[in-house]
Amino acid sequence: MISTEVGRCWWALGDPLLTEYHDSEWGQPTSSETHLFEMLTLEGFQAGLSWLTILRKRSAFRAAFAGFDPRSVAAFDDADRARLMTDAGIVRNRAKIDATIGNAAAFLAVAQHAGSFAALLAERFPPPPRRLPATAGSGSLPATTPESDALSKELKKLGFRFVGSTIVYSFMQATGLVDDHVPGCFRYVGGGS
C-alpha cells in the first residue's frame, strides 16, 4: 500500500503531520539524549491512542516536559504533577506522567553507568540497523521482536515503566534502531537483515 505519487510507507498517508514525521524523522538513527528520551516518553503516552494524536500534541508535550530534558523532568515534584494533570494540551494520564518522571531518573542512571543512553542502545543495536528484506510487504511490520522483548525486559529491570515490548519496538522504529521503511517507500534503503 504505497502512494502512487511518492512512494511512502502506508501509515504515513492521509495526514500532513504523519507524512512530515515519516519523511523527516521516523527511522533516522539518533544519538541525541533529549530526542531518545522524548521518543521513549511519547511512545509510552501513545499506548492506547493513535500516533497522530501524539503528533498533534507534541509541541505541548515539549513545553510541559521541559523540552524533554531528562535532568529537568527527573526533578519534577508534586506541583509539577498537578500542573501536568491540568494541562489540556497533553494526554493527562497520571500513571503515564508518573512513569515519565521516574523514567527520567532511570534514564539519567543509565547514562551515568553507560556513558549515555545512546551508548547502551548502540551496544545492543550496532549500526547499520536491521532493514526489511526487499520481499517484505506493508503487512510485514512486526509489533514486537525478540530484540524488543529483550530491551523491554532490560529497561524494566533498570526501573523504566511503560516500556512493554510493543512500545519499545515502536521506539526502536522511531529512533532508527531498526529501519522498517517498506519496499517501494522512497526512504527504503535496504534489503538485508
In a domain, 111, yes or no: yes
Closest by CA to 101, choosing from 116, 79, 117, 120, is 79
Let me know if residue 55 belongs to a domain: yes
Q: What is the CATH number of the domain that holds 55?
A: 1.10.340.30
User: Is there a domain that residue 76 lies in?
Assistant: yes
Query: Which of the following is catalytic: 21, 26, 169, 188?
Result: 21
Q: Catalytic: 21?
A: yes
On average, the pLDDT of the chain sits at 93
| Per-residue pLDDT tens digits for 114-159 | 999 999 999 999 988 988 777 776 567 889 999 999 999 999 999 9
Query: From CA 193, how far away is CA 125, in angstroms rounded?
Result: 12
Q: For residue 135, what pLDDT is reported? A: 75
7 in Cβ contact with 184 (< 8 Å): yes
CB-CB contact of 132 with 190 (8 Å):
yes
pLDDT at site 137 = 66
Pairwise CA distance, residues 163 & 99, whole Å: 10
User: 26, 33, 51, 169: which is the annotated catalytic residue?
Assistant: 51
Q: Cα–Cα–Cα angle for 171, 120, 34, nearest 5°?
A: 55
The residue type of 34 is T
Domain hosting 32: range is 10-179
Q: Is residue 154 part of a domain?
A: yes
Nearest Cα neighbor of 173 from 133, 136, 132 is: 132
Return d(Cα 94, Cα 92) in angstroms, integer.
6
Any idea which residue has 517507500 for its cell? 185
The one catalytic residue among 26, 33, 43, 188: 43
26 is catalytic: no
- 103 occurs within a structural domain: yes
CB of 188 closer than 8 Å to CB of 10: no
3 within some domain:
no
Q: Does residue 4 form part of some domain?
A: no
**C-alpha 65: how far from its chain's center?**
16
Instruction: Point out the least confidently predicted range of 75-89, 93-107, 134-148.
Output: 134-148
Task: Examine the residue annotation and report whether 147 is marked as an active-site residue of this protein.
Answer: no
Query: Kindly report the CA angle at 16 between 135 and 163, in degrees rounded to 5?
Result: 65
CA 94 vs. chain centroid, Å, equals: 20
Answer yes or no: is pLDDT of 3 > 60. no
Number of domains in the chain: 1
- DSSP 8-state code for residue 131: E
Q: Is the pTM of this model over 0.85?
A: yes
- Asked if residue 188 is part of any domain, the answer here is no
